[in-house]
Structure 1
Amino acid sequence: MNTKEYNSSLALELSYPDLVINIGEVTLGEGNRKMLQKAQRDQEKARVTQAVCALLNSGGGVIRMEKANKEERRVELGLDLEQSLRDLIDSSNLQAFFEFDQPGRSFYIFVKSWSGHPFAEDSSVRPRICSLSSSLYCRSETSVLPMDSKDAFDFLKKRKAKILGKEPSGESVNVLNQNLNNLRLADLVFQKDHIEHGEILPFPECQFIEFKQFGTKHIQEYVKSIIPQYVSGFANSGGGYLFIGVDDKSRVLGCAKENVDLRSLESVIAKAISTLPVVHFCCSEPGVEYRTKIINVFKGRELYGYLYVIKVQPFCCSVFSGNPKSWMVNGKDICSLTAKKWVGMMTGPEPELLSDLAEAFESQLNLSHRPPLCRPVYSKKGLECKADLQRHLFPVASGHLRYTPESLWTELSSEHEGLEELINRHMHPFSQGILIFSRSWAVDLNLHKKEGVICDALLIAQNSSPILYTILGEQEAGGQSYCTRTAFALKQKLVNTGGYTGKVCVMAKVLCLSPQCTTECLEGAVSPIDYPGSYSLGDTQQVEALLQALVIVLLGFRSFLSDQLGCEVLNLLTAQQYELFSTNLRKNRELFVHGLPGSGKTIMAMKIMEKIRNVFLCETRRILYICENQPLRNFVSNKKICQAVTRKTFMTNVFEDIQHIIIDEAQNFRTEDGDWYRKAKTIIQRAKACPGILWIFLDYFQTSHLSCSGLPPLSDQNSKEELTRVVRNADAIGNFLQEEMRVIRNNPPHNIPPESLEMLLEAEWSPSIQGSITIKTNLTLQQIVTYVAETCNLLFRTGYSQKDIAVLVSTAAEMERYKHELLRAMRKKRIVQLSDACDMVGDHIVLDSVRRFSGLERSIVFGIHPRTPESAISHNILVCLASRARQHLYILWHGEC
């Protein structure tokens, strides 16, 4: 079955900073539309509703059409078109989602994004997307009824809850009991081979029984047309019988034998049922289960014809009559949604967090009120929420326009003569808001930077739509398209990532510093479309709401929780992490980033590699990520943002194509295979005119050996930043870490520079995150593996899965020692999935060494006798172990700890 169905009659115009769909000529005005043939009227209405539905589901935009009636005077849309829009949004208030304008012969519909519009009868329940039809049917007494969006939403939600065991299934059983006698009688008829013409069946139509008559002509087409809705209705409502050849009074009429080809009819019905879309919430994937029966109908002793019966079994999940009538913009096309995609969006991606995770994280977007494409966004409790981050990064002061970041503005205005005067002149009309500078807003939005752009500035001010300014040094080709493309991406992300629910557009303006370039020719908005006044930000509350959406756009990153929860989840960078991410790469080509355990070093390493790709316009094959261990290498390699190797591979291979290098967990590097630091510097300095990037992430507290690391002395690490905000671990684990780190600081191993440990004094620990630490001593090997297996079994009962758990031992040799006994103990508890950390995304418990798990994390970590022969780093090993656990940590010792 095709996953997409494109509509070639709708054209997406790509030269605007918004989604603009041109639907061609449409007859407008009530009088004009009444004069149309019904077929043309319906065809025009279909084009309008499909385009509007696509924009509602894709972040909003503009519908452009030409008046087919060749007049420039203002006309109304037409009652049938207006009603079709009301039907789409299930509201009489068109202005909640639409604004209209008609300059000359053009007519514009400005469409706001769908945002969970409430239903009048139940404002707490909102479908996630806009649809013209669900294509889902149900039985109600003796009728088969189409489910509207609300009914479909409720049905899918309840069916999903029932499949997941979160809702009792008694309702359908009670309904079945009421009709049990009729069903028994229907089944007796279904067993018959012949029946008398005119016989009255001993049961009436009911919820589980439907009577239909054969027509005299086009029998196959008729049956084919009724199959989708009746089979969908019965399958979704506990099953039932469709008798074809019986009138409403239960009288058997059948179909004359000369009017029907049974073999052909059977084939048509089988094909019609087999092509019905089905969507499962359960792990099984059966299609619609049904049986057919052809019963001979006699008049006396003569065969008159046939009674056709279809017995439809109850379906576990959902059966559609066809794909829903719902559309989205997909790249450059407008396409209809498949049933599977539609159900996924309708039921929403909001995962149900485990109780412990729910206590640790706060949702930053209520998806039931947000645009359809939004993903869940969580911040950790104790860290800044989106409102805190907005006030910190993008504060809105009363009564004046703020330029931010101040340091970047000062730097830019000192580097480029005339920039301050140019900006101030264009900001003169705006009295309150914020102007946010960036060397490239494209890079901030994960797009490629354009050479020749001095900077971009985003204006978010009261009484104005947001405006993105691109400042060029010289007028050049491509400047306008760059600005338009960036403004388009920003608008889409504000709605579809940031979750902004108001009416919004981003205007694109290009300014030029060159005296030879007339500013006037560049400063006009790209789009000739004049947006209505409702697209301007009205007050401080609207400005701050948009800025909070911007915070999610800029600071959101794919959480490690995504793989555990089975859907994409975003977390937010801290203000400290965002400031590091905002570092000017061209001025900080070499940087040492010292981060405390759990401060997000690996996340930042991946974010910086994405930024390198966009700033320097380089391919992923030219960016090299180096770490010590294979599991972390595999984890990063799967992100497809770079080449990823271990230190040993780096030292034995030649990397001729590499321009930029990111090194992670560098405290665990060694010089046994050579001077890795010198080799890395040599590689990034090959292009002397434009050397590459070398950023090194490390944490001396997690040093797991006493050898020389190969890092330059701390005094030679000239460019250095620190990450001191610990964002990963629960309170109890954080307290344990602090104690162990104080021990290390007071008595550091000989290969760690003592002054590097002073950053502990600057540490900030996120409060109010629940979790636990359990330490057990004097256990035998058998007691340890039994305890791990039993505890895992208890955790599974509370909702955790195997991919939440890691079991870590001291060394690879120890891992082999425990593996056999641990597997035996777990098999007794029917737990059999156990693997090393090289496959972190698999559905299994990880068993590996503390050292090899460096840079990775799981919600629950068991540490088995985390000892080391080198007593000087025993506390470092404990820090390495504890920092891997987000929520629960178990440390199990053979003897006393």
Structure 2
Amino acid sequence: MSTELYSLVVQTSHPDLVIDAGVVTLGEENRKKLDAMRRREEKLRLAQASCALLNSGGGVIKMEMANKDEHPVELGLDLEKSLRELIQSSDLQAFFETKQQGRQLYIFVKSWNCSPEDGSTKPRICSLSSSLYRRSETSVLPLDSREAFSFLKKKKSSVKCSLMENGAPPRKNLRAECQDISELDRALKIFQRERIDYGHKLAFSESTSIEFKQFSTKCIQEYVARIIPEYIPAFANTRGGYLFIGVDDKSKKVLGCKTELVDRDSLETVIAEAISKLPIVHLCSSEAGVSFRTKFIDVYQEKNVCSYLCAIKVEPFCCAVFSEAPKSWMVNKEKGVYRLTAKEWVGMMMDADPGEKGGILSEDFECQLSLSTSPPCCRPVYSRKGLEHKANLQQCLFPVSPGCLQYIPDSLWKELSSEHQGLETLISQEIHSFSCQVLIFSRSWAMDLDLKEKQGVICDALLIAEDSPPILYTILGEQDAGGQDYCTHTAFTLKQKLVNTGGYTGKLCVMTKVLCLSPQSTAASTEGSACPIHYPSSYNLADTQEMEALLQALVLVLLSFRSFLSDQLGCEILNLLTAQQYEILSKNLHKTRDLFVHGLPGSGKTVMALKIMEKIRNTFPCETNRILYICENERLRDFISSKNICKAVTRKTFMIKEYHNIQHIIIDEAQNFRTEDGDWYEKAKAITQREQDCPGILWIFLDYFQTSHLDVSGLPLFSRQYPREELTRVVRNADNIARYLQEELEEVRNKPPPNLPPGSLGMLREFNWAQGVSGSVEIKSMSLKTMMTYVAGKCQFFLSNGYSLRDIAVLFSTVNDVQYYKDMFLKEMRKRKMSCNNNELIYNHDMFDSVRRFSGLERSIVFGIDPRAAEPAIFHNLLLCLASRARKHLYILRFSS
């Protein structure tokens, strides 16, 4: 590159990504006067900044005009051409707008998205160059982004086909790939020779697989090192081939390079090093590099060696060989502008919705945000079928009524305005000029966006209004020099997340304004709170349709969480909270330090526990070692521990150790706790309340209907579990399993165990589930031998239909049963050819466990082996716990008498 990336400076004092591209000459006539090097350097600098912003959610490029024109000037044809090449479109207005303010020129860049508006396939990201080459006849052709995407797609498809047929990545033979076998045979014969006469005319021509080059007479090693990154990848990416260096391409005569000018060993080293530096990206399981061989052939003239012919034979590569890292950039405030590696670039280019592959996502989930229509940094978002679509959630949480002003949530607005005299007047003065508007209040928008809360902030309010850009207001109790930085950073994060998480594809900025409510309850606006960059009018929300589109993106920002399916699918996907879950998570933690959350089976209690711990970390703030998660079983403990957001222990460990550094405690599956090791509740209460001026958080999640024992649980009386919230909507299980849960809940209601509080039965009236997901429930009785054959056959069927071992759980009633039966079931499985990569997984996989130890976890397929409870009174509770573990298919298998 002719310019260094340090010349692009990311400014951090704006609520948007702003890249300072330095001094640039603008205007066609002015640019014609520049020398070629300066013109090329400025053009590349602008292209780098534009590419980085297009790929990173959009933003602003700030440039100082080198020319002293007072009147507005155009960019210049060469600069416009580079931008058109970047977006591969003549419509610059779709992504770029310019605005001149004195000697400053601002280019407003909208985020890239690959939505095929014109019917053509667009790449996922923008690139100045793919750095991929292919051979075509006698030429080396660079691939643009669209051609590169097509090339990579074909390579990936070829790899898949080869794996399906042979079980190994393709290893193609150069000769078999060449169309003109006779010419390739002649080239091979020359390659195999040890000597050749000077001026010998080769009996073959340049072709797709053959290239002639003559040695440069100035610096041979530099010349060879310069042509390697172009020709070797081109051959490797096509059908392989031969590069003969020392042949005149017109006459086809062998000339070689004079012996006194060539050190064969050092030149061979230069060639090997140059090829080793070529970036390669595998789309298969192979780790092989570029396969090549270098040969030096003595060229004789009058019986003496006068020169050398250098020949490089290149085999076709299974995947992709680059000449260098693609010329594609991204930007963030931490790293600045940075260039993507070849592996990162291919990963983003080839990123696709996992639902396109079929399987559980396409069957059971509805796509809320697709990669095919979203900005480059987005992850796909899915919600379970039967749950609210993002449009329905937006209408529920942030409704838009034309011509009306809405304060959302109304309860928080009333609470804030009653607590702070003058707040209502202050807000009214600010927003009176807007007609159709939604004002969304939060005690801290920063905290809602996983940022740190700031002391002294009364509240934040996000204004979404017609004919205006979004505006984030921060209301302070007293003047604070850090208020503007807080507001700016929050607005910046909000804008980034609306695009890169919410998938908003329109032109977007978030303006900021800091207001101060003085001690005398008069309104005052802090000086200098307005954003200094004036955006074009196209950044205003034009109508209610654009308002709703932005608010739907906001729904994805606030309600999305990393799906538990991500690890199973091998890629990150997001799921959505329900409105019921979001309402509980939106509580003010300063006022709701203690909370009991009662959730029916499959209602998402563990997801809620994870989310609330993330919120605790930002609200107070505190490190992860200040938050303690307590559960009853080790597997759930290990699962939570792997998320790295808290310290996770079992109840037994909690009662043994002291926790001097812990401030906040989250307890999950509390219905299964016991007092055998002491009063765990009083200990947790004492820990969270030892700082009287600032007590910690103690949230307890439980489901009495899944209680697995009749001992004393240690929970306070039901009437003293206050404040209390309920989760009554089942979001995990398929329709048939949810109906089975409903039946078992009725059994518990009719014959409740003695330790189930009568008051808890009332929530059963609210039981409902997300309908629309097909599944199965089978309840059978059979002999042990038949049962083992049945389970092995079902596992074989599911594994051959796209499921993995991680989707399956075989659950027994007790730990002793697991130890007794596990090897028997494994032995039966080993008799069959399971469609997994390594049968050793079957030996070591943790698919076998007891119902109680699997509490809080889930699988797509669950086998319950002869379920029975130690106490008959809780038999239906055990069945509830077993059944709620299954997302898709449930098999309850009993031993026949």
Fold-level match, TM-score > 0.5?
A: yes
State the partner residue of 1:840: none
Of residues 784, 795, 815, the one that matches 2:787 is 784
State the partner residue of 1:8: 6
TM-score (norm 2): 0.95
Does structure 1 residue 881 correspond to structure 2 residue 882? yes
- Note if contact 2:421-2:521 (Cα within 8 Å) is conserved in structure 1: no
State the partner residue of 1:152: 148
Map 1:221-240 onto structure 2 (within 5 A). 221-240=222-241
State the partner residue of 1:825: 828
Change (3 A) 1:398 1:166: farther
State the partner residue of 1:111: 109
Tell me the distance in 1 between the aligned counterparts of 2:681 and 2:269: 72
State the partner residue of 2:861: 860
- Note if contact 2:627-2:665 (Cα within 8 Å) is conserved in structure 1: yes
Tell me the distance in 2 between the aligned counterparts of 1:736 and 1:240: 64
Q: Which sits farther off after the overlay, 287-296 or 667-676? A: 287-296
* TM-fit CA distance, 1:845: 5.0
Map 1:393-432 onto structure 2 (within 5 A). 393-432=397-436
- Note if contact 1:211-1:246 (Cα within 8 Å) is conserved in structure 2: yes
- What is the identity, as a one-letter code, of the residue corresponding to 1:404? I
Change (3 A) 1:523 1:550: farther
Q: Which sits farther off after the overlay, 721-730 or 687-696? A: 687-696
State the partner residue of 1:283: 285
Does structure 1 residue 769 correspond to structure 2 residue 773? yes
- Note if contact 1:349-1:567 (Cα within 8 Å) is conserved in structure 2: no
Tell me the SS of whatever aligns to 1:206. coil
Change (3 A) 1:165 1:875: farther
Does structure 1 residue 333 correspond to structure 2 residue 333? no
* TM-fit CA distance, 1:181: 2.9
Tell me the distance in 2 between the aligned counterparts of 1:715 and 1:168: 61
Q: Which sits farther off after the overlay, 548-557 or 341-350? A: 341-350
Of residues 19, 23, 29, the one that matches 2:17 is 19
Map 1:521-540 onto structure 2 (within 5 A). 521-522=525-526, 525-540=529-544
* TM-fit CA distance, 1:333: 1.2
Change (3 A) 1:776 1:40: same
Tell me the distance in 2 between the aligned counterparts of 1:406 and 1:631: 42
Q: Which sits farther off after the overlay, 305-314 or 417-426? A: 305-314
Tell me the distance in 1 between the aligned counterparts of 2:493 and 2:390: 21
State the partner residue of 1:129: 125
State the partner residue of 2:571: 567
State the partner residue of 1:616: 620
TM-score (norm 1): 0.95
Of residues 667, 672, 696, the one that matches 1:668 is 672
* TM-fit CA distance, 1:629: 0.8
Change (3 A) 1:577 1:707: same
Map 1:751-762 onto structure 2 (within 5 A). 751-762=755-766
Does structure 1 residue 742 correspond to structure 2 residue 727? no
* TM-fit CA distance, 1:418: 0.7
Map 1:146-225 onto structure 2 (within 5 A). 146-165=142-161, 176=177, 178-225=179-226
Change (3 A) 1:880 1:507: same
Tell me the distance in 2 between the aligned counterparts of 1:732 and 1:119: 41
* TM-fit CA distance, 1:688: 1.6
Q: Give deviations 1:230-260, integer Å, cap 9, x for gaps.
A: 1111111121111212233433222222221
* TM-fit CA distance, 1:323: 0.3
State the partner residue of 2:27: 29
State the partner residue of 2:351: 348
Of residues 726, 738, 742, the one that matches 2:730 is 726
State the partner residue of 1:87: 85
- Note if contact 2:115-2:374 (Cα within 8 Å) is conserved in structure 1: no
Change (3 A) 1:252 1:518: farther
- What is the identity, as a one-letter code, of the residue corresponding to 1:528? P
State the partner residue of 1:600: 604
Q: Which sits farther off after the overlay, 358-367 or 387-396? A: 358-367
Tell me the distance in 1 between the aligned counterparts of 2:6 and 2:829: 57
- What is the identity, as a one-letter code, of the residue corresponding to 1:409? W
Change (3 A) 1:183 1:844: farther
* TM-fit CA distance, 1:785: 3.0
Does structure 1 residue 259 correspond to structure 2 residue 255? no
Tell me the SS of whatever aligns to 1:95. helix
Change (3 A) 1:692 1:520: closer
- Note if contact 1:460-1:466 (Cα within 8 Å) is conserved in structure 2: yes
State the partner residue of 1:321: 323
* TM-fit CA distance, 1:473: 0.8
- Note if contact 1:497-1:552 (Cα within 8 Å) is conserved in structure 2: yes
- Note if contact 2:606-2:856 (Cα within 8 Å) is conserved in structure 1: yes
* TM-fit CA distance, 1:517: 9.4
* TM-fit CA distance, 1:877: 1.3
Tell me the SS of whatever aligns to 1:165. helix
Q: Which sits farther off after the overlay, 867-876 or 654-663? A: 867-876
State the partner residue of 2:380: 376
Of residues 91, 97, 100, the one that matches 2:98 is 100
* TM-fit CA distance, 1:359: 1.4
State the partner residue of 1:839: none
State the partner residue of 2:651: 647
Of residues 677, 689, 693, the one that matches 1:685 is 689
State the partner residue of 1:50: 48
Q: Which sits farther off after the overlay, 299-308 or 340-349? A: 299-308
Structure 1 runs not aligned, ≥5 long:
837-842
Give RMSD over aligned pairs.
2.1
State the partner residue of 1:636: 640
- What is the identity, as a one-letter code, of the residue corresponding to 1:31? E
Q: Give deviations 1:177-223, integer Å, cap 9, x for gaps.
A: 63233223322222221222222323222212222222222111111
State the partner residue of 2:481: 477
- Note if contact 1:223-1:269 (Cα within 8 Å) is conserved in structure 2: yes
Tell me the SS of whatever aligns to 2:531. coil
Tell me the distance in 2 between the aligned counterparts of 1:257 and 1:314: 31
Tell me the distance in 2 between the aligned counterparts of 1:378 and 1:166: 31
Identity %: 64
Q: Give deviations 1:456-490, integer Å, cap 9, x for gaps.
A: 00001110000000011111121111000100000
Change (3 A) 1:860 1:162: farther
Structure 2 runs not aligned, ≥5 long:
none
Does structure 1 residue 298 correspond to structure 2 residue 300? yes
Q: Which sits farther off after the overlay, 545-554 or 110-119? A: 110-119
State the partner residue of 2:699: 695
* TM-fit CA distance, 1:356: 3.7
* TM-fit CA distance, 1:117: 6.0
- Note if contact 2:422-2:521 (Cα within 8 Å) is conserved in structure 1: no
- What is the identity, as a one-letter code, of the residue corresponding to 1:262? R
* TM-fit CA distance, 1:868: 2.3
State the partner residue of 1:503: 507
* TM-fit CA distance, 1:750: 1.1
- Note if contact 2:374-2:505 (Cα within 8 Å) is conserved in structure 1: yes
Tell me the SS of whatever aligns to 2:218. coil
Q: Give deviations 1:852-881, integer Å, cap 9, x for gaps.
A: 111111212222222223222121111111
* TM-fit CA distance, 1:889: 1.8
Q: Which sits farther off after the overlay, 748-757 or 787-796? A: 787-796
Q: Give deviations 1:716-769, integer Å, cap 9, x for gaps.
A: 112110001110011111121111111111111111113312312101111110
Tell me the SS of whatever aligns to 2:318. coil
Change (3 A) 1:594 1:168: closer
Tell me the distance in 1 between the aligned counterparts of 2:286 and 2:407: 57
Does structure 1 residue 69 correspond to structure 2 residue 67? yes
Tell me the SS of whatever aligns to 2:6. coil
